[in-house]
Amino acid sequence: MCNTCGCNVTDANRHLLDDPAAQAHETSAGGAVVVLQRLLDANDREAAHNREHFDEHAVLVLNLMSSPGSGKTRLLEATIDALRGEARIAVIEGDLETENDADRIRAKGVVAHQITTGTACHLDAHMVHDALHHVALEGLDVLFIENVGNLVCPASFDLGQHRNVTLLSVTEGDDKPAKYPVMFRAADLMLITKADLLGAIEEFAPERAIRAFRDLANPGPVLTVSAKTGVGLATWLDWLRAEIRAQKARVAAGETLRPKVQPEGAALHAHDHEHTHLHEHPHTHGDGVTHSHPHSHTHAHGHAHSHGHEGEHRHEHADGHAAGDDHDHAHGG
């Protein structure tokens, strides 16, 4: 029994925690009741429920997070164009107001549901669950959830996604990971977007952005892309294809996946199934594209390398050979 966080407290054993005779040390003096429950427990349960829906249909679900205006919708438009006829895509859009982003996606012939949050600065699992009544999961390969543009709040709410993708546009500054550590620590993939502007914005050095990202102990891949010119897009699409295949393989094996870094839960649940060997081989070939190759071994990782199409690259391999930590075997704590 994990006594650290209460992760294993269920309706079946809760009486042990509440019964002073059974667990005297769990109840402190003064009539206080020990709870040890995540504050976002209700959200997390709804998120798990969403994830079951997604897995039932073998749909890969990605949570896109970034500042407003860093190019989430533009990236989706380019992705939809590139994967037309290859992958079936749907999108859930989160914004405070307007259907504008959903309209842009629909114009590409893809189902999009807009969640307008009013004043809420983030999506939560309940909002996504409600949206699922408007988005048929049958036959989908990938569902993108475009979160509300905000580098703070969305990081704290699990939606049921399998991966977090965090965008950092070059106009924002390369120190953003250090300024918003909770958000960038939660990223399974960081995309440096608007790479076409790198020449014009000399203040932004992809190396510094990657350094700041690594300083959050994040071994995740980093890709530099421009949805406008298509630079770096092939590598992003390969990552996406590999993730889609990995999701189908996981479902076939009866497994699921939560984003690598969970707020709070992960640290407490990491009873070290981690066998991590991280190698970094920074290759600098000098030009706009910065790669980092995820050998973050989910099985069936056919992450195809597609270099050589956009000229020279700057590579950074972050080989996170994480044998076990990529999976959630739904262990009982």
Is there binding between residue 317 and another protein (CB under 8 A)? no
Scanning residues 47 to 76, which ones bind another protein (CB under 8 A)? none
Q: How far is CA 12 from the centre of its chain?
A: 32
Distance CA 132, CA 182 (A): 27
The binding track of 169-208 with respect to another protein, each residue x by CB under 8 A or -, is: --------xxx-xxx-x-----------------------
| Residue whose token pair is 């897009």 | 233
For the bound state, the minimum distance from the C-beta of residue 35 to another protein, rounded and expressed in Å, comes to 5
Q: Looking at beta carbons only, is 135 or 153 nearer to another protein?
A: 153
Please state, in angstroms and rounded to a whole number, the distance separating the CA atoms of residues 245 and 307: 20
Indicate the residue among 90 and 210 with the shorter CB distance to another protein.
Answer: 210
Q: At its nearest, how many Å lie between another protein and the CB of residue 290?
A: 17
Q: Which of 71, 160, 206, 219 binds another protein (CB under 8 A)?
A: 219
- Say if CB 72 and CB 146 are below 8 A apart: yes
Q: How far apart are CA 202 and CA 204, in angstroms?
A: 5
Q: Is 96 in the site for another protein (CB under 8 A)?
A: no
Assigned token pair, 208: 């510094």
Cβ partners under 8 Å of residue 158, min gap 6: 40, 43, 44, 47, 125, 258, 259, 262, 263
Binding characters for another protein, 127-156, by CB under 8 A (x = yes): -------------------------xx-xx
3-32 residues in contact with another protein (CB under 8 A) are 5-6, 18, 28, 30-32
Q: Which of 54, 157, 204, 239 is in the footprint of another protein by CB under 8 A?
A: 157
Name beta bridge partners: 111: 90
Question: Could you tell me if 129 and 48 are in contact, meaning their C-beta atoms sit under 8 angstroms apart?
Answer: no
Question: Tokens at residue 42, please?
Answer: 């209700």
Which residues in this chain contact another protein in the complex, by CB under 8 A? Answer: 5-6, 18, 28, 30-43, 120-122, 124, 152-153, 155-157, 177-179, 181-183, 185, 214-217, 219, 263-264, 266-268, 270, 274, 276, 278
